[in-house]
Amino acid sequence: MNAELMPYDEALERFDPALGLEVHVELNTASKMFCGCPTEFGAPPNTQTCPTCLGLPGSMPVVNRTAVESAMRIGLALNCEIAEWCRFARKNYFYPDMPKNFQTSQYDEPIAFNGWTDVVVEGPDGPQTVRVDIERAHMEEDTGKSLHVGGATGRIHGADYSLVDYNRAGIPLIEIVTKPILGTRELVPLVAKAYVAQLRDLLLGLGVSDVRMEQGSLRCDVNLSLAPRDVGSESDGAGRHALGTRTETKNVNSLRSVERAVRYEVQRHAAVLTSGRPILQETRHWHEDTGITTSGREKSDAEDYRYFPEPDLVPVAPDREWVERLRASLPEPPHERRARLQAAWGFTDLEMRDTVGAGALGLVEETIAAGASAQTARKWWLGELARRANETETDIAALGVTPADVARVQALVDEGAINDKLARQVFDGLVAGEGTPDEIIAARDLAIVSDEGALSAAVDEAIAANPDVADKIREGKVNAAGALIGAVMKQMRGQADAARVRELVLEKLT
Amino acid sequence: MTGGTSTTAAGLAEELAAGAVTSVEVTQRHLDRIAEVDDRLHSFLHVDAEGALEQAAASDARRANGEALSPLDGIPIAVKDVLATKGLPTTCGSRILEGWVPPYDATVVARLREAGLPILGKTNMDEFAMGSSTEHSAYGPTRNPWDLDRIPGGSGGGSAAAVAAYEAPLAIGTDTGGSIRQPAAVTGSVGVKPTYGGVSRYGLVSLANSLDQAGPVTRTVLDAALLHTVIGGHDPRDSTSIDAPLPDLVGATQRGAEGDLSGVRIGVVKELGGEGYQDGVLARFQESVDLMVAAGAELVEVSCPHFVHALATYYLILPAEASSNLARFDAMRYGLRVTPEGDPSAEDVMRATREAGFGDEVKRRIILGTYALSSGYYDAYYGKAQKVRTLITRDFQQAFEHADVLLSPTAPTTAFKLGEKVDDPLAMYLNDLATIPANLSGVPGISVPSGLADEDGLPAGVQILAPAMADDRVYLVGAALEAILLDKWGGPLLDQARGLDELDHRTGTTA
């Protein structure tokens, strides 16, 4: 065990964790937040830019109405109040990937505020509902993207030179900030993960974002602090808890990492505090590969963004009729959706919790919509693909396997074109990016051999090679057929229909 | 002669329409005039002779086909170097933008092109429009056509000098605290700051976004109305642009030019005059007021008590907005790049570039603005300034209950000598005492010549302010005063400009 970390259970005995999550969501609007440039992911660098998102002298922003609508829908889905009047502000700081050297963002007048959402986690005594209070959801623009070339780390330090791609500059972002989440004790990593998973499902349901964590369209910052139990468990009489100094771990960009980063910071904070040192208020970097956080820049009061209202924009004042129309058109809330889907799919409570816990609810739903049965969809996602995601430490949604792929694989199994064993090889191909299921089957030559002549010859060969077994079957010991079937399947590299092989064996020997 | 450089834009429009002259001839004459006098005046930072003549030829071709785009089609214009012009350098009078050629046109510039006006070039200005004398241009000062040892006002001294010296019949200026009106006053020309939001700011390199407004710089009120009509009106690219039709400015001007002010209530603002104002400026102002009353106007005295705080308010809001606007000049994407010795970081390059690329006045205001927005000071400075701004707007609203227009001298003094105030920022700031309140509350204003101050024989101006979106009123009253004074003088005030004689004498040409 790392000396800098305290065992998790011991940390929880001594401290109460307080969690806060800041999630940045890239909206999937066709154009940017303040100009008409397209927002397509992965276009050649600096091809989706104009005077405004490049911050050229004289250019001016115009608010994207669809982005405002998306922001309000997110706010409403999180049970927020929607501002009757709010403004954008300038957040001033210098950075090469920020074209104007200020970010146009909302500051003290967010479009949505005071909301909540309930998440369910598996506690020691069964499922437990935790209410996460939402402080605010506000609109802002993304920055450009720096690419540091040369040097060992790909970070700016030690790089030979840097390139900046402004395609991302001006993409609409919604930042969703929770209030401190208190009293979740040892469940805190699970709550963090469940909240982000729920947010992802909710955003997918709203259709406002692609929510692809691996592409950065949902980015999570984890705020964590510990308070000694003897203080932290007491409220101050007004229901407030004394909070410890927090750290902000930036860009934790998978569900699995959210859970791991929270757990890591709990253990690290506990070790630091127990040794008598203070926790520095700082930003920290999460390292997906090593599973640790390291110190970023110290965040002190010295950081002064000199916010002031953006004078190039007029206030956003959504009329109430618009708000109510959006409220009426919201998709069903997550808990109702879960209940409905569980009933429709006939899942047990455990199956449902596993599905939600793996972040696979939407994936299963889409797979069923693409034609698979509920149980087969669950089987592949939770049996096969969740295991692979764990093994490779990636998000299940980022494996490279789509719901349509899974439905197609199952359809091929149902047709008898492949069997489950071959299906796993198809998934290997999908994860490796080898193409569609049908292309992979063709390229890897995975189809079941249905040529009767070849099968018959293989069976004859197996009988000849195993005369003892053949005799037993002839004597009526039908169970012995398994050995011959196995031999045939082995010879056929698994690509035979086992039921048909059995029929042939029995035909020939009885 | 026809098509001469002393002909007004309205006059040129008639001659072009009558076929008495071509746009190529008119444009060439102005280019010739620039070539003759601009080495001494320095109104222009960039002259685009080739482009202007091409546009003029295209205009002549259109006119030959009966397809003139606007009344001003074919009449050349000069544009302040703070507006983005596609394919033409745009420096804002700063080293930091030296060599920058915008890939796009400001909306104002696009509208000039759509109306067929050939663009002669870009005019000199105080760096990023910070100043009242054009001495803060990184490319050297512009001189006043009335006296080449004096300043032409600022920040738009280049545009005002260009029209006053007959280098251009029309020019575009921008006015953040008086940068159109004060140069007009000290050069004996006409300048209009439209209602905030009345002319698009898209492509106008921001000094202070909530104060900036582009407008006409001309020799007559009618020319200003014609030009304002071309550049004004709603622009979806500017969120602060007013989505309403422009009033009939040309019609109001024509009515005003009849010289009858019966039923018009003119309010003299008590706080804009008296101490700090030059005697000759006040005398010409009083004379103008008397003439207007004689023409039927009803005189009322109004008080705007919060105007005394306008200068202080302005010098918090402007630097705050400017400090943020100017942050983008960091050598990363365009403009000057200074790379320090050794192995500099991006931040080192930014620092060295901004140190070398910005002049003292710009740095002064960046520091002021950064301070005013700092955590812990915001409420006391920027926040408080916004509150005073609201009070100034209320003062205007109350004043306009009693008066249709408000009057004051445009600037407290006539043109001062080059170098006289360049090292005394506070003295320089006082030039805009009377013009700043209009910017703080977004109301329109015009400066028209009021005559020459007795003590120095230099021109002074009268400022006429109207309520927001009532730009037609400043044209009506401005045209009336102009007509009355022309009668009194027996011709344009600029005919008396000594510096012009000097320029003409030395070059041997006549306007």
Strands (E), A41-191: 81-82, 89-92, 102-105, 112-123, 126-141, 145-149, 161-165, 172-178
- Classified by CATH at the fold level, domain B9-308+389-505 comes out as Amidase signature (AS) enzymes (3.90.1300)
Contact state of A60 with B239 under an 8 Å Cβ cutoff: yes
The two three-digit tokens of residue B158, written as one number: 């280049």
The pLDDT value recorded for residue B509 is: 47
Q: Report the range of poorest mean pLDDT among A216-225, B330-339, B410-419, B424-433.
A: B424-433
Residue B249 has pLDDT above 50, yes or no: yes
pLDDT band at A89 (very low <50, low <70, confident <90, very high): very high
Please indicate if any CB of chain A lies within 8 Å of the CB of B262. Answer: no
Residue A300 has pLDDT above 60, yes or no: no
Q: What is the pLDDT of residues B54-69, one digit of tens each?
A: 999 999 999 999 999 9
pLDDT band at A248 (very low <50, low <70, confident <90, very high): very high
Nearest Cα of chain B lies from the Cα of A53 at a distance, in angstroms, of 12
The pLDDT value recorded for residue B490 is: 95
Say how many CA atoms lie within 13 Å of B386 toward its Cβ. Answer: 13
- How far is the C-alpha of A112 from the C-alpha of A482, rounded, in Å? 65
Sheet with B77-80, strands from edge to edge, namely: B44-47, B119-123, B77-80, B170-174, B214-218, B190-193, B445-452, B459-465, B405-409, B265-269, B298-302
Number of H helices, E strands in chain A: 18, 14
Catalytic one of B23, B43, B59, B80: B80
pLDDT band at A468 (very low <50, low <70, confident <90, very high): confident
From the list A219, A224, A257, A222, the residue with the least C-alpha distance to A243 is: A224
Contact state of B375 with A306 under an 8 Å Cβ cutoff: yes
Nearest Cα of chain B lies from the Cα of A310 at a distance, in angstroms, of 9
Residue B508 has pLDDT above 60, yes or no: no
Nearest Cα of chain B lies from the Cα of A62 at a distance, in angstroms, of 6
Strands (E), A291-436: 292-298, 308-309
% residues pLDDT > 70 (chain A): 94
Residue A421 has pLDDT above 80, yes or no: yes
Quick count: other Cβ atoms within 10 Å of Cβ B95?
Answer: 18
B155 is annotated as an active-site residue:
yes
Contact state of B237 with A63 under an 8 Å Cβ cutoff: no
Q: Which of B236, B323, B375 sits opposite A62 (nearest CB)?
A: B236
pLDDT band at A163 (very low <50, low <70, confident <90, very high): very high
- Reported as type and span, the H/E element at residue B315 is helix B310-325
pLDDT band at B505 (very low <50, low <70, confident <90, very high): low
Cβ contact B24:B60 at 8 Å: yes
Please indicate if any CB of chain A lies within 8 Å of the CB of B274. Answer: no
Please indicate if any CB of chain A lies within 8 Å of the CB of B109. Answer: no
Residues of chain A neighbouring B106 (CB-CB closer than 8 A): 58
Rounded to a whole number of angstroms, the distance between the first and last alpha carbons of chain B is 10
Q: What is the pLDDT of residues B255-271, one digit of tens each?
A: 999 999 999 999 999 99
Spatial CB neighbours of A232, under 8 Å, sequence gap ≥ 6 = A15, A16, A18, A226, A241, A242, A243, A244
Mean pLDDT over A145-166 rounds to 79
- Torsion-angle region of residue B128: left (phi > 0), alpha (psi -120 to 50) or beta? left
- How far is the C-alpha of B39 from the C-alpha of B32, rounded, in Å? 12
- How far is the C-alpha of B283 from the C-alpha of A341, rounded, in Å? 86
Strands A15-26 and A172-178 come out as antiparallel
Selected for mutation to probe chain B from A155, A300, A312 (highest B CB count within 10 Å) is A312
Q: How many Å separate Cα B126 from the centre of its chain?
A: 12
A interface with B, Cβ–Cβ below 8 Å: 51, 54-63, 90, 92, 94, 96, 99-102, 162, 164, 301, 304, 306-308, 311-314
User: What is the DSSP secondary structure assignment for residue B150, as one 8-state letter?
Assistant: B
Spatial CB neighbours of B285, under 8 Å, sequence gap ≥ 6 = B273, B407, B408, B409, B450, B460, B462
The pLDDT value recorded for residue B502 is: 75
Nearest Cα of chain A lies from the Cα of B201 at a distance, in angstroms, of 8
Residues of chain A neighbouring B239 (CB-CB closer than 8 A): 60-63, 312-314
Residue A232 has pLDDT above 60, yes or no: no
Contact state of A61 with B373 under an 8 Å Cβ cutoff: no
Residue B506 has pLDDT above 80, yes or no: no
B159 is annotated as an active-site residue:
no
pLDDT band at B498 (very low <50, low <70, confident <90, very high): confident
Q: What is the pLDDT of residues A381-405, one digit of tens each?
A: 998 999 898 888 788 888 889 999 9
Q: What is the pLDDT of residues B205-226, one digit of tens each?
A: 999 999 999 999 999 999 999 9
Q: Report the range of poorest mean pLDDT among A66-70, A87-91, A248-252, B72-76.
A: A248-252
The pLDDT value recorded for residue A152 is: 63
Find the residue in B nearest to A301 (Cα): B375
Q: Which of B204, B321, B323 sits opposite A58 (nearest CB)?
A: B204
Quick count: other Cβ atoms within 10 Å of Cβ B289?
Answer: 18
Please indicate if any CB of chain A lies within 8 Å of the CB of B371. Answer: no
Residues of chain B neighbouring A92 (CB-CB closer than 8 A): 323-324, 327, 373
Please tell me whether residue B302 adopts helix, strand or coil conformation.
strand
% residues pLDDT > 90 (chain B): 92
Mean pLDDT over B405-430 rounds to 94
**What does each C-alpha distance from B162 to B157, B280, B395 come to in angstroms?**
8, 25, 36
Contact state of A308 with B320 under an 8 Å Cβ cutoff: yes
- How far is the C-alpha of B100 from the C-alpha of B334, rounded, in Å? 7
Mean pLDDT over B136-158 rounds to 97
Spatial CB neighbours of B274, under 8 Å, sequence gap ≥ 6 = B282
Mean pLDDT over B436-463 rounds to 98
Catalytic one of B43, B59, B94, B155: B155
Q: Report the range of poorest mean pLDDT among A92-96, A462-466, B234-238, B253-257.
A: A462-466
Structural domain A452-509, CATH architecture: Orthogonal Bundle (1.10)
Mean pLDDT over A118-145 rounds to 93
Find the residue in B nearest to A100 (Cα): B328
Instruction: Kindly provide the b/e burial profile for residues B294-321, where b requires at least 16 CB atoms within 10 angstroms of the residue's own CB.
Output: ebebeeeebebebbebbbebbbbbbbbb
Residue with the larger pLDDT of the pair A151 and B84: B84
The two three-digit tokens of residue A420, written as one number: 């489950």
The pLDDT value recorded for residue A155 is: 63
Q: Report the range of poorest mean pLDDT among A2-6, A16-20, A120-124.
A: A2-6
Residue A297 has pLDDT above 90, yes or no: no
Residue A240 has pLDDT above 60, yes or no: no
- Of A78-92, A358-372, A483-497, which has the strongest mean pLDDT? A78-92
Quick count: other Cβ atoms within 10 Å of Cβ B487?
Answer: 11
B363 is annotated as an active-site residue:
no
Residue with the larger pLDDT of the pair A301 and B205: B205
Q: Mean pLDDT across chain A, nearest whole number?
A: 90
The pLDDT value recorded for residue A350 is: 87
Q: What is the pLDDT of residues A192-206, one digit of tens each?
A: 999 999 999 899 889
Residue with the larger pLDDT of the pair B316 and A395: B316
Q: Which of B90, B324, B378 sits opposite A90 (nearest CB)?
A: B324
Selected for mutation to probe chain A from B83, B105, B200, B237 (highest A CB count within 10 Å) is B237
Please indicate if any CB of chain A lies within 8 Å of the CB of B370. Answer: yes
Find the residue in B nearest to A103 (Cα): B324
Selected for mutation to probe chain A from B239, B351, B370 (highest A CB count within 10 Å) is B239
Contact state of A102 with B102 under an 8 Å Cβ cutoff: no
Find the residue in A nearest to B97 (Cα): A57
- How far is the C-alpha of B250 from the C-alpha of A288, rounded, in Å? 68
Question: Is the whole model's pTM more than 0.90, yes or no?
Answer: no
For chain A, which residues make up each domain, given as ranges?
8-326, 332-444, 452-509
Catalytic one of B23, B132, B159, B179: B179
Q: Which of B92, B208, B238 sits opposite A60 (nearest CB)?
A: B238
Residue with the larger pLDDT of the pair A150 and B377: B377
Contact state of B328 with A101 under an 8 Å Cβ cutoff: yes
Contact state of B102 with A57 under an 8 Å Cβ cutoff: yes
